[in-house]
Structure 1
Amino acid sequence: MSNEILFLSGFLIFIIALLLLDLGIFNKKDAAVSLKQAGLMSVFIILLSLGFYILLTYFGHHIHGIDSMERLQEIVTKHKHPVKIIPGNLEHSLMLYDKNLGLEFLTGYLVEYALSIDNIFVILLVFSGFGVAPRNYHRVLFWGIFGAIVMRFLFIFIGAALIQKFEWIMYVFGAFLVYTGIKMYIERNKDDEIDPQHHPVVKFAQKHFKVHNQFVGNKFFVVIDGIKKMTPLFLVLIIVEFTDLIFAVDSIPAIFSITKDPYIVFFSNIFAIIGLRSMFFLLAGIVNKFRFLKVGLAALLTFIGLKMIFHHYLDDIGFTTSHSLIVIVSILFLSIAISLMFPEKKTPHIES
């Protein structure tokens, strides 16, 4: 247990340092994030994620302090890793365990990253609906990540405890993801809108708190006539957090279909969330060009849901983490490739 706490503590310290670096690079002055800055930060985060994958591939057993065949068997059984332990050969067994752990992280990271892209659609609607200035996008996204880390930490470790105690929850999660996937496909062409005046968060805040009626630079709070009030920018931050919470309901069960190890679920989640913040500025202007992306995400959720429902059967036929990774990458690649090959044809506007 001490190994797990030390590793998790070190990871959180690393993430905080990364966020401070992000703040130092992007938020030195009150200006919009450029494509060059966003591109460099996105590449940096992706390289760090791949570096973490390599770390797990060679030293992943140190997370749970595995130093004996008995401890290895305990962890493999507890988290249901699809790893064959070779009796009397701890070194080779650890190599197989670490390799699978790295694949679980990488697969979970890709799933979370893919599902987070859909989050960009909603965040863009929130920013445009509330009239947030582009120079304040990063401030909202940056502070939003702190709440996201706390919420996902609670979601993941509570979810892991429930799965350990009530294995039938996997079937519930699976059915929910299949339903979500089918619903996403049916509503793929639906035009979403954000109405600032009638949004539930805005109504609740106006009823219970003092809310200023206009933006004040990049401030979340402002004092007017001696009264401290929330600004619309703070309401936008709350809505972004609320949006992330809704997406977590889909994405976290999805990653539990890849691995039951809560630490791997948490690590892959956090790397993807941090990457989303910088990727937002790269994709904000072109995300609508991927017209079949929602179809791909719907297929992805449906596949993961079915995998959770039929996981015992899939285990029996030898369906491994590598197979999941291949299916997931194929779905994402096809949805993006077909979007680029068959772009949406714009209907010419005829003035009357």
Structure 2
Amino acid sequence: MNTLAPEWLWFVFVIFVLLALFVDFVVLKKQGAHEVSVPEAVRWSAVWVALSLAFNGLLWWAFAQSQGTEVANTKALEFLTGYLIEKSLAVDNIFVFLLIFSYFAVPSAFQKRVLMIGIILAMVLRTVMILVGGWLIAEFHWILYLFGAFLLFTGIKMWWAADKESDLEDNPALKLLRRVMHVSTNFDGEKFFTVQNGVKIATPLLLVVALVGFTDVIFAVDSIPAIYAVTSDPFIVLTSNIFAILGLRAMYFLLAAMASKFHLLSYGLALILVFIGTKMLIVDFYKIPVLVSLGVVIGILAITMVWSVKTAPKVLSER
């Protein structure tokens, strides 16, 4: 792989992620099934953001020691931009998760476990996709144009679909899962399987976990090329992506409570995808500086969020 990251930093990253997951699992087991409050979601979101920034500081120091401060500044900016892009695109994941949980009427107390398993599946699948993507870009430079065109098309499609209601019943993954497994009509606590009439069958919770996994793979097809528009270093792509995913569970419960206030956010995400796709298409003619990309992403998100709050329907804003 074409990366300047020292080997020990890879090792630290893996240990960092494993420890974070272990702590999260211990806390999850200790708390048991319970509904996550907004203050709790805010605290955990702050913890994950702080850990991500701390790792970025370590990344800067590692590159400064081995490559000099100029390279370190560039790599740290690439990580921050990639992290922010992944966080912002994760918002679209969260809206789909909301749709899935609502469709299956998943009790709030059970949603934590589903999201935790979904995060682990996402990290494994995305790691494979990122490494494969890095190899493809290194071997076939022209694939950047393919990624760019795909992101541009996805951004335009997202803009036109932003104000349309999603229909989970038409989801091909859901139709496929229902054909290959028998599912009970009721939940059985946090169990994925239950026994009905002496036969072991799946509970709706297993179906929800599978759909969450499918959804993340689909969104990864958008988000991974988006980060490769910022940097071609697989280490930066992988670490910024994984750290963004680690905080997805807390971010879900935070945004779930505020979803109605940011009703225009999908338009902002569409613009970000169009910008990133355009950046990839012109990479051989003009390389947009990382700092400019960071400013554009932050600017679009800030404007969209502020405009959403200002134009929120009175019925929603008063809740």
TM-score norm. by structure 2 comes to 0.92
Give structure 2 stretches of 5+ with no counterpart: none
Which of the residues 47, 56, 79 maps onto 1:105? 79
- Note if 1:325 corresponds to 2:294: yes
Name the structure 1 match of 2:274.
Answer: 302
Amino acid at match of 1:280: Y
CA positional deviation for 1:282: 1.0
CA contact (8 A) 2:6 2:62 kept: no
Name the structure 2 match of 1:25.
Answer: 27
Q: Deviations over 1:179-204 (max 9, x none)?
A: 11111111111011323xx6433433
CA contact (8 A) 1:210 1:228 kept: no
Residues 1-352 of structure 1: pairs in structure 2 closer than 5 A: 6-28=8-30, 29-60=32-63, 66=66, 94-195=68-169, 199-224=171-196, 227-315=199-287, 319-345=288-314
SS, match of residue 165 in structure 2 = coil
Q: Which has the larger helix fraction?
A: 2
Amino acid at match of 1:38: A
CA contact (8 A) 1:215 1:231 kept: yes
Distance across 2 between alignment mates of 1:223 and 1:6? 49
SS, match of residue 222 in structure 1 = strand
> How many percent identity over aligned positions?
43
Q: Deviations over 1:226-246 (max 9, x none)?
A: 543221101100000111111
> Which structure has more RCO (C-alpha within 8 Å, separation ≥ 6)?
2
TM-score norm. by structure 1 comes to 0.83
Distance across 1 between alignment mates of 2:136 and 2:68? 27
Distance across 2 between alignment mates of 1:233 and 1:5? 40
Name the structure 2 match of 1:90.
Answer: none
CA contact (8 A) 1:201 1:235 kept: no
CA contact (8 A) 1:26 1:37 kept: no
Distance across 2 between alignment mates of 1:5 and 1:220? 39
Distance across 2 between alignment mates of 1:95 and 1:330? 27
RMSD: 2.1
* Distance change (3 Å), C-alpha of 1:177 and 1:202: closer
Q: Which has the larger radius of gyration?
A: 1
Amino acid at match of 2:83: Y
Amino acid at match of 1:147: L
CA positional deviation for 1:212: 2.7
